[in-house]
């Protein structure tokens, strides 16, 4: 028998249930094999340690504890006792349950009366307004388009292709930043007019449409066409620098300072 | 010849083998009673308890409390948990003695309930990370500063036992490192001193399985104790 097979018999040996012939062959093997005999010593020592572990007795009042526990009602009945029902834990539970019931009953009461609105009233309203409302006149009908040929410069091309319209903060920043180096920050009349519009708090939020010489500003009440001639734009840097790189606060001031050409039309957004 | 039929769904024994003539057990039953004198006494106590005799239940508790508590302690390695589980075991016994059919020894049945309770508690405690290793030498941080763990002084004094407390604690720790099946087998065999047949009945597995489990557990424990230098 090899060592592995011998070691499988250790348990039987420790329990003294080993068959006599197996025991003989095991003892013969152990005489020749010190490793296995050391293993067996350790194995039997382990078993002996286990069997000699002291019996830990139950605590002296064990029977009393068991009896007390038996007299306790089961958990589900403990929750029905008046002592628990009046405890703070119970009141918290009641509050939670009541709020749940409240919320769900409100939701139920609202939800059962809810019917998704039929499309009928909407079409009626549309028909009604269609009868009253007439399309506004073309806002650009009376506008004189003065598009100079020389505006077909790269910059003007960019304007027509898609012009970045700054917001009022950007305009203010650009104007104030131009003070240290003393340069005029606007390259075209369009840019300048838009900056002037953004500086006016009343026109700041108007819809702006860049024009080659200026811009259209659409407000709920009016449509402004604001243009600046090339001659006016040529004079503009001087005035701007003279004003200490500050833009005028209103479009009226701007008109007086820079000679803007302003036309005011009825807005297509206003009620007829 | 046996018939299989369902019994109480609330116990873990859904199906039991019921002899066709349970009343007439013949000579075998008599021989069994003679062979195992404890069985007879328990049966009398149980009968008396079922008739309403509370003192017989007390006697059953007193008879089994040390064995059950010791088994729980060795399985769980924790005095307070062991006491709680042992109490649970007797509460379960009290409520379900009427389902005890006498198919096995009463002690076997008690141990089976105990082992199941211990396994459940072990599962519960493991899930709660109860057995996170805490070294006894390393100081641990508290709100007031660092403290060195203080081991509770429990169990018999060194004079009472043959073994030193240190060795006992080491063995208990190493038992706790075994997995549940091996731990159960080795505790029932080497600490409670039950026979292979009884353990097989308690665990509901074949005797060969029990034998191999005990052998593996002993080998594993031997390895662990060798590593600790306790042999």
Mean pLDDT, range A42-64, rounded to an integer: 92
Number of alpha carbons in the 13 Å side-chain half-sphere of residue B214: 31
Cα–Cα distance between B157 and A56 in angstroms, integer? 11
- Asked if residue A261 lies in contact with residue A196, where contact means CB atoms within 8 angstroms, the answer is no
Question: Looking at the complex, does the CB of residue B84 fall below 8 Å from at least one CB of chain A?
Answer: no
Transcribe B5-36 into DSSP letters.
EE--TTSS--EEEEES-SS--HHHHHHHHHH-
Q: Rg of chain B's alpha carbons, rounded to an integer?
A: 21
CB-based burial, A78-101: b 16+ in 10 Å, e otherwise: eeeeeeeeeeeeeeeeeeeeeeee
Of A50, A56, A65, the CB nearest to B186: A50
Residues of A in contact with B222 (CB under 8 A): 42-43, 46
pLDDT-based confidence at A123, cuts 50/70/90?
low
Q: In sequence order, what E strands does chain B have?
A: 2-6, 15-19, 140-142, 145-147
Domain B1-132 class in CATH: mainly alpha
pLDDT tens digits along B173-210 = 999 999 999 999 999 999 999 999 999 999 999 999 99
Which of A18-27, A31-40, A224-233, B125-134 has the least mean pLDDT?
Answer: B125-134
Query: Is A18 an 8 Å CB contact of chain B?
Result: no
Residues forming CATH 1.10.1740.10 domain(s) in chain B: 1-132
CB pairs under 8 A between A and B: 94
Query: What Rg do the C-alpha atoms of chain A give, in angstroms?
Result: 49
Whether the predicted pLDDT of B155 surpasses 80: no
Is the model's pTM score more than 0.80?
no
Set of chain B residues whose Cβ sits within 8 Å of the Cβ of A69: 87, 91
Q: Give A77's contacts in chain B (Cβ within 8 Å).
A: none
Query: A195-219 in b/e burial notation, b at 16+ Cβ within 10 A?
Result: bbbbbbeebeebebbbbbbbbbbbb
Which single residue is written with the structure tokens 């019996």?
A55
- Angstrom distance (rounded) from CA A79 to CA A90: 9
Topology of the domain covering B133-231: Arc Repressor Mutant, subunit A (1.10.10)
Instruction: Give the pLDDT score at B193.
Output: 92
DSSP tag of B158: T
Local structure of residue A55 (DSSP, 8 states): P
Asked if A85 has any chain B CB less than 8 Å from its own CB, the reply is no
ipTM of the complex: 0.72
CB < 8 Å from A in window 48-77 of B: 58, 61-62, 65-66, 68-70, 73-74
Residue in A with minimal Cα distance to B158: A54
Q: What does the angle CA B74 – CA B75 – CA B80 come to, to the nearest 5 degrees?
A: 75
Euclidean distance between CA atoms B153 and A168, whole angstroms: 80
pLDDT of amino acid B34: 45
Contacts with B211 from chain A: Cβ below 8 Å: 11
Mean of pLDDT values over B9-34: 45
Q: Which of A158-167, B8-17, B88-97 shows the lowest per-residue confidence on average (mean pLDDT)?
A: B8-17
Q: Is A57 within 8 Å of B66 when comparing Cβ atoms?
A: yes
Question: For residues B35 and B29, what is the distance between their CA atoms, to the nearest angstrom?
Answer: 10
Q: Give the best residue of B87, B95, B96, B117 to mutate against chain A (max A CB count within 10 A).
A: B87
Phi and psi at B133, nearest 5°, equal -70, 130
**Among A233, A235, A221, A207, residue whose Cα is nearest residue A270:** A221
pLDDT in tens, B65-117: 999 999 999 999 989 999 999 999 999 999 898 888 888 889 999 999 999 99
Contacts of A50 in chain B (CB under 8 A): 171, 186, 190-191, 221
pLDDT for A36: 87
Q: How many helices (H) and strands (E) does chain B have?
A: 9, 4
The Cα–Cα gap between B203 and A231 comes to 108
pLDDT at B227 over 60: yes
DSSP state of A73: P
Is any Cβ of chain B less than 8 angstroms from the Cβ of A44? no
Q: Inter-chain contact B218–A10, Cβ cutoff 8 Å?
A: yes
Interface of B with A in 9-28 (CB under 8 A): none
- Which of B98, B100, B125, B120 has its CA nearest to residue B110? B100
Mean pLDDT over residues A199-223, rounded? 85
What is the structure's pLDDT at B146? 60
Q: CATH 1.10.10.10 in chain B, residues?
A: 133-231
The answer, for B156 touching chain A at a CB cutoff of 8 Å, is: yes
User: What was the pLDDT predicted at B229?
Assistant: 83
Question: Measured between alpha carbons, how far is A217 from A226 in angstroms, rounded to an integer?
Answer: 8
Percent of chain A at pLDDT > 90 equals 35
What is the average pLDDT value for chain A, to the nearest integer?
Answer: 83
- Asked if the model's pLDDT at residue B135 lies above 90, the reply is no
Confidence of residue A160 (pLDDT cuts 50, 70, 90): low
To the nearest 5 percent, what fractions of chain B are helix, strand and coil? 65, 5, 30
The reply to whether A74 touches chain B by the CB within 8 Å rule is: no
CA distance A71 to B86: 16
Which strands sit side by side in the sheet containing A222-227, from one edge to the other? A207-211, A214-218, A222-227, A261-266
Length of chain B in terms of residues written: 231
Residue whose pair of structure tokens reads 């010593």 in the numeric block: A41
CB contact under 8 A, A57 and B161: no
Output the pLDDT for position B136.
55
Number of other CB atoms surrounding residue A193 within 10 Å: 29
Per-residue pLDDT tens for A1-30? 778 888 899 999 999 888 999 999 999 888
Given a cut of 50, is residue B27 above it in pLDDT?
Answer: no
């Amino acid at each position: 028998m090899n060592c592995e097979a011998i070691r499988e018999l250790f348990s039987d040996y420790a329990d003294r249930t080993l068959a006599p012939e197996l025991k003989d062959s095991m003892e013969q093997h152990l005489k020749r094999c010190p490793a296995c005999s050391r293993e067996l010593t350790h194995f039997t020592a382990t078993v002996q340690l286990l069997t000699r572990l002291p019996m830990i007795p139950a605590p002296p009042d064990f029977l009393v504890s068991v009896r007390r526990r038996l007299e306790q009602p089961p958990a589900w009945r403990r929750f029905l006792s008046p002592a628990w029902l009046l405890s703070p834990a119970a009141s918290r539970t009641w509050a939670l349950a009541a709020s749940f019931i409240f919320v769900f009953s409100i939701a139920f009461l609202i939800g059962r009366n809810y019917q998704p609105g039929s499309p009928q009233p909407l079409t009626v309203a549309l028909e009604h307004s269609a009868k009253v409302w007439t399309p506004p006149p073309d806002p650009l009908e009376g506008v004189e388009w003065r598009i100079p040929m020389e505006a077909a410069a790269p910059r003007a091309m960019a304007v027509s292709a898609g012009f970045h319209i700054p917001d009022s903060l950007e305009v203010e920043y650009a104007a104030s930043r131009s003070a240290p180096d003393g340069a005029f920050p606007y390259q075209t009349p369009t840019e300048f007019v838009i900056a002037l519009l953004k500086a006016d708090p009343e026109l700041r939020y108007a819809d702006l449409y860049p024009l080659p010489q200026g811009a259209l500003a659409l407000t709920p009440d009016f449509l402004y066409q604001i243009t600046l001639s090339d001659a006016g734009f040529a004079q503009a840097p001087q005035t701007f620098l003279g004003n200490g790189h500050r833009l005028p606060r209103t479009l009226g001031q701007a008109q007086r300072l820079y000679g803007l050409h302003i036309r005011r039309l009825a807005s297509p957004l206003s009620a007829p | 010849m046996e018939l299989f039929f369902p019994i109480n769904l609330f116990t873990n024994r859904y199906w039991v083998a019921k002899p066709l003539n349970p009343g007439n057990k013949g000579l075998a039953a008599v021989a069994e009673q003679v062979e195992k004198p404890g069985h007879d006494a328990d049966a009398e106590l149980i009968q008396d308890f079922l008739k309403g005799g509370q003192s017989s239940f007390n006697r059953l508790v007193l008879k089994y409390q040390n064995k059950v508590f010791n088994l729980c302690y060795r399985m769980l390695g924790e005095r307070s948990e062991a006491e709680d589980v042992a109490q649970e075991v007797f509460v379960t016994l009290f409520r379900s003695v009427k389902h005890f059919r006498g198919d096995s020894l009463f002690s076997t049945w008690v141990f089976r309930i105990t082992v199941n309770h211990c396994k459940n508690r072990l599962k519960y405690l493991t899930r709660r990370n109860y057995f996170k290793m805490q070294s006894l030498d390393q100081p641990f941080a508290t709100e007031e500063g660092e403290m060195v763990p203080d081991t509770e002084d429990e169990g018999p004094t060194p004079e009472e036992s043959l073994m030193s407390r240190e060795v006992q604690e080491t063995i208990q720790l190493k038992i706790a490192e075994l997995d549940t099946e091996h731990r159960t087998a080795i505790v029932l065999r080497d600490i409670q001193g039950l026979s292979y047949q009884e353990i097989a009945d308690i665990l509901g597995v074949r005797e060969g399985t029990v034998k191999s489990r005990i052998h593996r557990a002993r080998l594993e424990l031997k390895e662990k104790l060798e590593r600790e230098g306790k042999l």
